[in-house]
A and B are shown apart, each in its own frame.
Chain A
């Protein structure tokens, strides 16, 4: 079992729809959770981080964390073609220092 799992996709949604990206993790002691966006040929760009159970909203993005079920999700409202990218989920655990453990990423395609 991988430490951080994401569906590789591609996930295809029409413009204006809500895109839902999911991530599960195996280390129950994980405390910090991050979503990065990576355009093709570019480096990961931090878009959201969440530490507490519940929802955290930032513009069109909402991160959701459920530690009991060990999953974290990212919702993108009013999806735009410019949101088309690979979304990486990353987890940080105190017993692993400050390093990030990444999932393989979910490719999102927003169709005009």
Chain B
């Protein structure tokens, strides 16, 4: 079946712009995760959802970052007033249930100029 999809694949934003990154999980997967990966580092947790409930947002770096999953399927990660330090690859992953193995989408590479 189809895997996790993300869009856009690449995004260039000028500093101060708002961006929205979309994730479409594997069909039927209840849990959805967002990670941020800097060059040469492992992914770092941002937030996760169980259905539409956001259970942990402890990894969001600032209040400029906001995520939602209103219908328990597609999720959007929004970054307001982007800064250069927000430049990274944003990865979405989903799992059938919480605690199961996670499958990653292709990521969105965000470059803030």
Binding site for B on A (CB under 8 A): 4, 32, 34, 36, 42-46, 49, 88, 90, 92, 94, 97-105
Given A45-B104, A98-B48, A32:B40 Cβ within 8 A:
no
Cβ–Cβ contact A98 & B98, under 8 A: yes
- Name the CB-closest residue of A to B45: A99
- Name the CB-closest residue of B to A101: B45
Which residues of chain A come closer than 8 Å to B95, judged between CB atoms? Answer: 98
- How many Å from the CB of A109 to the closest CB on chain B? 15
A27 to B35, CA, bound (A): 20
- Name the CB-closest residue of B to A98: B98
Which residues of chain A come closer than 8 Å to B35, judged between CB atoms? Answer: 100
A97 to B46, CA, bound (A): 13
- Is B16 interfacial (CB 8 A cutoff)? no
Cβ–Cβ contact B104 & A100, under 8 A: no
- Is B103 interfacial (CB 8 A cutoff)? yes
- Name the CB-closest residue of B to A92: B99
- How many Å from the CB of A110 to the closest CB on chain B? 20
Closest 4 CB pairs of A and B: A102-B42, A98-B98, A99-B45, A43-B104
- How many Å from the CB of B53 to the closest CB on chain A? 12
- How many Å from the CB of B111 to the closest CB on chain A? 14
Cβ–Cβ contact A34 & B42, under 8 A: no
Given A34-B101, A46-B102, A98:B42 Cβ within 8 A:
no
Cβ–Cβ contact A44 & B104, under 8 A: yes
- How many Å from the CB of B71 to the closest CB on chain A? 20
Given A97-B55, A99-B33, A43:B42 Cβ within 8 A:
no
A and B contact pairs by CB, cutoff 8 A, 24 listed = A32-B99, A42-B106, A43-B104, A44-B91, A44-B104, A46-B104, A88-B43, A92-B99, A94-B99, A98-B31, A98-B33, A98-B99, A99-B48, A99-B56, A99-B59, A100-B43, A100-B93, A100-B102, A101-B45, A102-B42, A102-B43, A102-B44, A103-B42, A105-B42
